Amino acid sequence: MTQRKASRFTTFLWHRRVGLAAIILVIILAITGIMLNHTEKLKLDETFVNDAWLLNWYGIAPKDEPIAFRIKGQNAKYHVVSAWNKQLFFDDDAVMVLEQDMHGAIGAEQFIVVAFDNEIILLSYEGEFIERLSTSLSFNNIKRLGLKYKRPVIETGDPLYYIADEHILDWDIISNEDIAWTKQYLLNDDEREQLLIAYRGNGLKLERVILDLHSGRIFGQYGIYVMDAAAIALLWLSLSGLWVWNSRRRKMRQKKHYQKHHRN
């Protein structure tokens, strides 16, 4: 085999190998590209994906387990106040983003009181946010929340015990007697599932998933380089295919020229 033939055969061989290796990525690029060109017609920006494995892959999954407290409402209906991965929930509704750990929730005479490290949050019995109150001027390091005379009681790390006035503005030290301390509530499977749905919201927009699939970002940190490699492979396939075609064309011309001038 001459050097020219060997070079042509090697190029053809690698052309086939690269084509087979890149075919899946090329198909992904083509399909996702077509879909993105018709985002509005396909309603990609209005459709949400809620598959658990995909949401977990994107990191839209809370860590650890929720901390929950069950409260009897003013209409004798029970509510659950819970904190999960720095979010506060009233039943299945997200209330706010948290910066501190939750240590208890009780139903006082006028409000629902939720205690954190160095602050308390007041909610209405309909779950509406009312006010956030810092306790740093009175005490720090809240450990437990309880109820006495229908008023909230705080245990600190000292330990000292403080009871609020009826407006929950001032706090007085009391003894640890006849205080009904809050206890964590264990969510059942249905309650946990509903809370998880509330945490995830509507899920992921399909448009984002298609965009990330098209760019390769869905495959992780180095996914974009995989798609870059697919694009380079496409370019190489085009050039090498053109080279192989041109080489065969020249060969056929030479063969015809030889046959034309060497006929008997």
| pLDDT score, position 236 | 67
pTM of the model: 0.63
CA distance 37 to 14: 32
Instruction: Please give the order of strands across the beta sheet that includes 93-97.
Output: 67-72, 78-83, 87-90, 93-97
User: Per residue in 85-94, pLDDT tens?
Assistant: 889 999 988 8
User: Per residue in 225-258, pLDDT tens?
Assistant: 777 777 777 776 666 666 666 666 666 666 655 5
Q: Kindly report the average pLDDT of the chain as a whole number.
A: 80
Instruction: Please give the order of strands across the beta sheet that includes 142-148.
Output: 171-174, 161-164, 151-156, 142-148, 180-181
Domain boundaries, given as residue ranges, for the chain: 3-47+204-261, 61-200
Out of 76-80, 205-209, 260-264, the most confident range is 76-80
- Which residues contact residue 2 at a Cβ distance below 8 angstroms, ignoring those fewer than 6 apart? none
CA distance 124 to 115: 15
Which residue's entry shows tokens 């697919």?
A: 230
Query: Any long-range contacts for 187-191 (C-beta under 8 Å, 24+ apart)?
Result: 187/66, 187/68, 187/80, 187/82, 191/80
The pair of structure tokens assigned to 27 is 């198909």
User: Per residue in 154-206, pLDDT tens?
Assistant: 999 888 999 998 888 889 999 999 999 999 999 998 998 888 888 887 667 88
| pLDDT score, position 29 | 78
Q: 114 near 123, Cβ under 8 Å?
A: yes
| pLDDT score, position 77 | 85
CA distance 144 to 180: 11
Kindly state the average pLDDT of the residues 27-40. Answer: 84
Give strand pairing partners of 221: none
